Structure 1
Amino acid sequence: MKKFLLPLLFLFLFIFESLFIQFLPGNFLGHNRIFVPRFLFCAVLLLTIFIGRKPGMIYAAILGLVFDIVYIEIIGIYLFLFPFVTYLISKIMHVLQANLIVAFLVTLIGVGLLEFGVFAMDLLIHVTNLDILSFLNLRLYPTLMLNAVFLLIFIYPLKRFMEKYAILGRDE
């Protein structure tokens, strides 16, 4: 039963992201900005940082596919970007130590890379007409701030949960 705790956490974060968007006011903080919660992806990156590349890549691919099926009309954007950014972050973590401050900063870098990747794909297939400065001001900076607040609150409990999950996985 305990082996289902991590998938349940990811399911909860997947549902929580969409609920969070529904209840976030349109002009949050008095500005008309786009706040994109990437809580699920932050948890996948933390899984990669604290447990390892293999489970992180597996969950990134599965959750990227689910994300594409549920939210996006084109299957493949998140299916490609989730594992790709997760792989890049795992390579970065070979050089750095996995403490909370480094994990916080590297996870925010991963969210930024994901947002840039989504923006580039949207620009490529003509879904958006934003220029790079508008993208930075309207979407990237608010998204990084929102996810930084999420990480400040939940990085330690997520780290503890994933470490316990890794110990449970080794014991079985």
Structure 2
Amino acid sequence: MSRLIIPLSAFFFFMAESTYADLFSGEHFNSSRIFVPHFLFIFILFLTIFGSTKYGIIYGFIFGFLFDVVYTEILGVYAFLFAFLALVVSRLMKLVHSNIFIAALISTAAIAALEILVYEANGLIKDTGMNFTEFATIRLLPTLLLNFAFIIILAFPIKRIIEKANFESD
């Protein structure tokens, strides 16, 4: 059962993102701010930090591709970025002590990098509809606040889920 907890949790966070986006979109609250949940990506980063770099990258690629298929028009962007940023985070965590506070800060920075890189990729392929300043105030900052709050609330439970999976044998 401990081996199923990681894929089931990843799938749960994948589904939770779309549910959150449907229930709490800015349109429901007459807000122009865009709060983008990255619950799955946070789970993948925590898997990389507290579990296994190998599994973090694999799950990043698989669920990133699934994310691309379901939610985006451009296949491969999230698949590449989830896996690549999981690798970058694993390398960064080798330079610092792996505690929950540092993991929260680095995960928030990785979310910022993800958002900016996706914005730039969309800018290369098509018009994004907003300049970078608008993007930063309307989408990036609200997204970082939402996801940092998510990390604060669920960091310890996610860490425990990952620790229960016992990656030492891998």
TM-score, structure 1 normalization: 0.93
Deviation at 1:2, TM superposition (A): 2.7
Aligned to 1:7: 7
Please state if 1:100 is matched with 2:62.
Answer: no
Gapped regions of structure 2 (runs ≥ 5): none
Q: Distance in 2 between matches of 1:57 and 1:68?
A: 16
Deviation at 1:41, TM superposition (A): 0.1
The count of corresponding residues between Structure 1 and Structure 2 is 170
Deviation at 1:69, TM superposition (A): 0.9
Please state if 1:81 is matched with 2:76.
Answer: no
Aligned to 1:131: 131
Deviation at 1:171, TM superposition (A): 6.3
Query: Structure 1 residues 28 and 148 mapped into 2: Cα distance closer, same or farther (>3 Å)?
Result: farther
Q: Distance in 2 between matches of 1:31 and 1:95?
A: 40
Q: Tell me which moved more, 3-12 or 120-129.
A: 120-129
Deviation at 1:170, TM superposition (A): 4.1
Aligned to 2:52: 52
Aligned to 1:111: 111
Deviation at 1:59, TM superposition (A): 0.5
Q: Distance in 2 between matches of 1:64 and 1:128?
A: 21
Deviation at 1:26, TM superposition (A): 2.3
One-letter amino acid matched to 1:113: A
Q: Distance in 1 between matches of 2:54 and 2:169?
A: 18
TM-score, structure 2 normalization: 0.94
One-letter amino acid matched to 1:122: N
